[in-house]
Amino acid sequence: MKQANVAIFPHIFALIEEAFPSAERRTYEGQKALLSKTNYQLFFQGEEQNVESIMAVWEFSSFIYIEHFAVSKQKRGSGIGSACMKTFLENAKKPVILEVEKPCDSITERRIMFYERIGFHLNPFAYEQPPLQKNYGPLPLHIMSYPSLLTAQQFQEIKTQLYREVYGK
């Protein structure tokens, strides 16, 4: 994957809008502002006019947090998502964390199974994502972790750091 810059950001944000409901993403301005943070990186696959996949990543001292990962509708089911994620994980030098919706229908169940096939583990701890935009409440989610399940203490430390540094809480 290539690192994104301000010039390609509108095309990347279009895929974020396509793939995530508004409660699970920032506003355009809020997402773009993250590009100035030193521990945040936005990657993409494809070309400027044809973004095939994106990955938004926060790197912390003890773990990596994938905030967004999406594949364009045209490329879903082609294997590009699993190949991209597997390559990312092979190069990760720290545990990797991501959030998923609670399994409540076939789409959310398939999403969890996708990550489990790659090696992620669904952690059993209660978790809510703080609102990313005004007019939204907290979003009940699950934390998935790679390469292993988290202990209760690890989960609490990760949650505290996410709340503070990603969500400003």
pLDDT number for residue 102: 86
Q: How far is residue 51's CA from residue 42's CA, in Å, rounded to a whole number?
A: 12
Q: Give the type of residue at 55.
A: M
Q: What is the mean pLDDT of each run of 10 residues along the chain (169 residues)?
A: 89 94 94 95 89 96 97 89 94 97 86 96 96 93 98 98 94
Residue 147: asked if its preceding bond is cis (omega within 30°), the reply is yes
Question: DSSP string spanning 94-116?
Answer: S-EEEEEE-S-SHHHHHHHHHHH
pLDDT number for residue 105: 85
Name residue 47's beta-bridge partners. Answer: 50
- 2: part of which helix (H) or strand (E)? strand 2-3
Extents of the domains making up the chain: 2-166
Q: Quote the CATH superfamily of domain 2-166.
A: Gcn5-related N-acetyltransferase (GNAT) (3.40.630.30)
Q: How far is residue 101's CA from residue 104's CA, in Å, rounded to a whole number?
A: 8
pLDDT number for residue 1: 86
The first and second tokens of residue 20, run together, are 């995530």
The residues, ordered by sequence, that sit 6+ positions from 93 with a Cβ below 8 Å of its Cβ are none
Residue with tokens 């994104």: 4
